[in-house]
Amino acid sequence: MKKYKFIIILALIVVLSSKILCYADENTIDESRLKGCCLPIGDENKFINGYGIIQNSEGYSRSMLYGLIDKDYNVVVEPAYYWITYDSYEENIIYAFMDIYAGYGDIYKITDRGLEKINSEMYCMNLSFAVRLESAFGGFENINSSAFSGDMIAVADRQHKHYGVIDKSGNFIMPFTDKYVYLVQDPYIIRYINTGAYETGSKIVADGQLLNSSVEVLTEAKYDYIEILADYIRVTKDGRVNILDTNDYSELSNWSYTVLEPVGNYFIAKDLNGMYGIIDKSGNTAVDFLYKKIRWDKSTGFHSYDEDDGTYAKIKLPGEADISEETEEAPDTGSQPEAPIETQAYFPVYDVTLNGIKMENHERLYPVIGYANIAYFPMTYYDSRLLGLETKWDSVSGLKITGFGSHMGYDEYKTELAEEPNPHSIKVFTVDYDVYLNGKSIDELAGHYPLLTYKDITYLPMVYKLFANELGWEYRYSKDEGLIINSRN
């Protein structure tokens, strides 16, 4: 009897194991079953929601074309696009681009009926605009849109003359117009006036208003910049900032601050005299404006910080017990970011030229990468010095980057090559350490673009305020020449 029980158990194990293996295998693309096409280099090469990405030939080149197959290995989208990717949050949406940088192409949706193209004509989905931020931040800030947020996506025509918003069925929520441009952040639509002027290659926009998905205007007032945060809406006007109530969209304060950073039930605020304090959600002062800088750390709370002598002092909030006055050292975790978060970046196929030296980006061990419609630059020893930057790292204070003026010569420049061509898409992580540029926190310069790490190298987003304002670099992009960076001003 025991013998038969053992045989039955063994048979069940074999059956279950085979089912697990079949389940694992059914999502893995078998390259031997492909006809007239190949798998992209370096990708996981799995079926996602019943479809997989293919390319027209082996290897890697700028002329490589991508398409889609179904689980029966039928080609359902012929290789005709320069890049295909799934939506980061909703894998039933697939973007297929003819121009990667502009995000110009088609949108496919996976439905019960199969794969459907939702657009009748190609749209540009990578939209970049410049908002004027006056004295609070200086110059301009670039804002971007590149994917669905909820059920909406902002789009433009090929010439970027007309802008609109469509839903996941391809229907227009906001019809094409040349008067306005749009950004979408679920459940809101942000509408700006199209000024027709340009700054650093981006169209300047102004007079932003908040709308809901029913196209009702929620803010009669107009703002230079509108940011949708986790629990708040932050607006900027004439160099000053304010917070909007998410219930009735009324303004929290009387426009007497140039910085408002939400932390729990409070805001770190900077007044018009340049001093820092803390206000509560009702706009009442919780900590007087007596400090040159205030920081917050999740383990120890609020601290004042004196940049001249590097000392911290714990700040007491209303209702807290008495605390010691001053410490000579920073808290253990300071203002470091949260733990690293894994995310997906892509490998751009355009050329990259640094100070006149054309990079073979697809062969580099540490290539320029793309994320959220922004190019990210690696802070390697040789790349940074070619562009006149010095980098210093230690585990306590993080990465310090300084522009020191002298540039490494071409004969000294070295770049490490990858063993294989770079893949179609790559896994990256947000940084978990402090990064400073010329003594300033990168977080304040990079805006809402996160710093990333790839192969243990820090990558900085190429935003105007960071590279142009702070370092004085010139950079531009064109479809023919690619990305050109010049730091020799």
Q: What is the DSSP string of 30-42?
A: -GGG-SS-BPPTT
Tokens 């030939």 sit at which residue?
A: 57
Predicted local confidence at residue 327, as pLDDT = 44
User: Between these two residues, 91 and 164, which has the higher pLDDT value?
Assistant: 164
Residue 250 has pLDDT above 50, yes or no: yes
Contact between 344 and 48 (Cβ < 8 Å): no
| Mean predicted lDDT score pLDDT of the chain | 80
Residue 408 has pLDDT above 70, yes or no: no
The DSSP 8-state label assigned to residue 274 in this structure reads S
Under the banding of pLDDT at 50, 70 and 90, the label for residue 12 is: low
Percent of the chain with pLDDT over 90: 32
Residue 404 has pLDDT above 80, yes or no: no
Under the banding of pLDDT at 50, 70 and 90, the label for residue 411 is: very low
The answer to which of 73-87, 206-220, 290-304 has the lowest mean pLDDT is 290-304
Cα dihedral across residues 417, 423, 425, 431: positive or negative:
negative
Q: Give 304's strand partners.
A: 294, 313
Residue 184 has pLDDT above 90, yes or no: yes
Grouping H, G, I as helix, E, B as strand and the rest as coil, residue 73 is coil
| C-alpha of 437 from chain center | 19
Task: Average the pLDDT over 326-333 and give the result.
Answer: 43
Residue 177 has pLDDT above 90, yes or no: yes
End-to-end CA distance of the chain: 87
282: which residues sit within 8 A by CB, 6+ positions away?
Answer: 252
Predicted local confidence at residue 301, as pLDDT = 82
Contact between 279 and 293 (Cβ < 8 Å): no
Under the banding of pLDDT at 50, 70 and 90, the label for residue 19 is: very low
Predicted local confidence at residue 334, as pLDDT = 41
Q: Which residues of 234-244 are buried (b: 16+ CB within 10 A; e: fewer)?
A: bbbbebbbbbb
Tokens 């090559």 sit at which residue?
A: 417
Residue 207 φ/ψ region, left for φ over 0, alpha for ψ in the -120 to 50 degree band, beta for the rest: left
**Tens-place pLDDT, residues 423-474:** 767 888 888 888 888 777 777 666 667 889 898 899 988 877 777 767 777 7
Cα dihedral across residues 427, 429, 435, 438: positive or negative:
positive
Task: Average the pLDDT over 375-385 and give the result.
Answer: 84
Predicted local confidence at residue 85, as pLDDT = 87
Predicted local confidence at residue 22, as pLDDT = 44
Residue 335 has pLDDT above 50, yes or no: no
Residue 23 has pLDDT above 60, yes or no: no
Predicted local confidence at residue 303, as pLDDT = 84
Under the banding of pLDDT at 50, 70 and 90, the label for residue 60 is: low
Task: Average the pLDDT over 120-135 and give the result.
Answer: 82
Highest mean pLDDT among 147-151, 321-325, 401-405, 449-453: 147-151
The answer to which of 132-141, 254-263, 374-383, 396-405 has the lowest mean pLDDT is 132-141
Predicted TM-score of the model (pTM): 0.68
Contact between 346 and 85 (Cβ < 8 Å): yes
Predicted local confidence at residue 206, as pLDDT = 94
Q: Which of 487, 465, 489 is nearest to 139 (CA)?
A: 465
Residue 131 has pLDDT above 80, yes or no: yes
User: Between these two residues, 26 and 94, which has the higher pLDDT value?
Assistant: 94
Predicted local confidence at residue 445, as pLDDT = 66
Decide: residue 275, CB within 10 A, 0-12 exposed, 13-18 middle, 19+ buried: middle
Task: Average the pLDDT over 49-59 and give the result.
Answer: 88
Percent of the chain with pLDDT over 70: 79
User: Between these two residues, 235 and 348, which has the higher pLDDT value?
Assistant: 235
Under the banding of pLDDT at 50, 70 and 90, the label for residue 299 is: low
Structure tokens belonging to residue 309: 């002598």
Structure tokens belonging to residue 348: 């751009």
Predicted local confidence at residue 333, as pLDDT = 39
Task: Average the pLDDT over 160-168 and give the result.
Answer: 95
Tokens 């050329």 sit at which residue?
A: 351
User: Between these two residues, 110 and 342, which has the higher pLDDT value?
Assistant: 110
Under the banding of pLDDT at 50, 70 and 90, the label for residue 115 is: very high
Cα–Cα distance measured from residue 135 to residue 369, given in angstroms and rounded to the nearest whole number: 31
